[in-house]
Structure 1
Amino acid sequence: MLKEKYSQNAETLKFIIEFEKTVESGKVYTTQELVQLFESSPYNKKQFDTYKKSKTGSIWYALKRSGNWTRVQNGVYQKK
C-alpha cells in the first residue's frame, strides 16, 4: 500500500485559509496558538508530528502567503 505524502507548508496554508474565514478583522493570535489550532485540525497529518519546530515556520509561511495577516510583534499576528 502506498503511503500518501503531504507537504506541511501546503497543509498549513490550507488550514490558515479555511481558519481565517471564521476570524473577525482585528483578532490577534500568537504563533503558538495557531500551531495548537493547526495540530487539532484535520490538516495536521501524523507524519508532521516529528516536525514540532518547523510547524512554527509553516504557520509563518502560511500567514505570509495568505496576505490577510499583519505581524504585530515577533510571534504575534493580527487578522487584517
Structure 2
Amino acid sequence: MEEKYSLNAETFKYILEFEKTVSIGKEYSKKELVELFRNSMYHKSLFDTYIQNAINKSIWYAVKRSGKWALVKKGIYSIVKNY
C-alpha cells in the first residue's frame, strides 16, 4: 500500500524544522525556500506531479502558519521571532 503525503503538511514540517537553523534577520527568497525544500527529506516525488506552482504556494502557506517569518519585500522572507 502506497503512503499518502500532504504537500501542505510536509512543507509545514519542513519550515518548522528549517527555521530552527536560521538566524534572526537572515533573508530567504521564496525561490530559495522552494529549492531547499525540494532537496530535503520532506519532498516527495509525487509533489512534482502537482501543478507547476503548488510547492511555491505551499511554502508561502507554511511560512505564514509558522508565525516566525516576516515578508521583507515581495518574495523575500526573514525570521523575526525566536521561540
Q: Structure 1-normalised TM-score?
A: 0.95
Partner Cα distance (1:29, 1:77) in 2: 5
Alignment partners' CA distance in 2, 1:23 and 1:3: 34
| Structure 1: stretches of 5+ with no match in the other structure | none
RMSD: 0.7
How many Å apart are 1:74 and its aligned residue?
A: 1.5
Task: Tell me, in whole angstroms, the C-alpha distance in 1 between the residues paired with 2:2 and 2:55.
Answer: 21
- For 1:3 and 1:53, the matched residues in 2 are separated by 24
Q: Residue 56 of structure 1 aligns with which residue?
A: 56
Equivalent residue number for residue 18 of structure 1 = 17
Q: Indicate the percent of aligned positions where both proteins have the same amino acid.
A: 56
Structure 2, unpaired ranges of 5+:
none
Aligned pair count? Answer: 79
Distance, in Å, in 1 between the alignment partners of 2:77 and 2:25 is 9
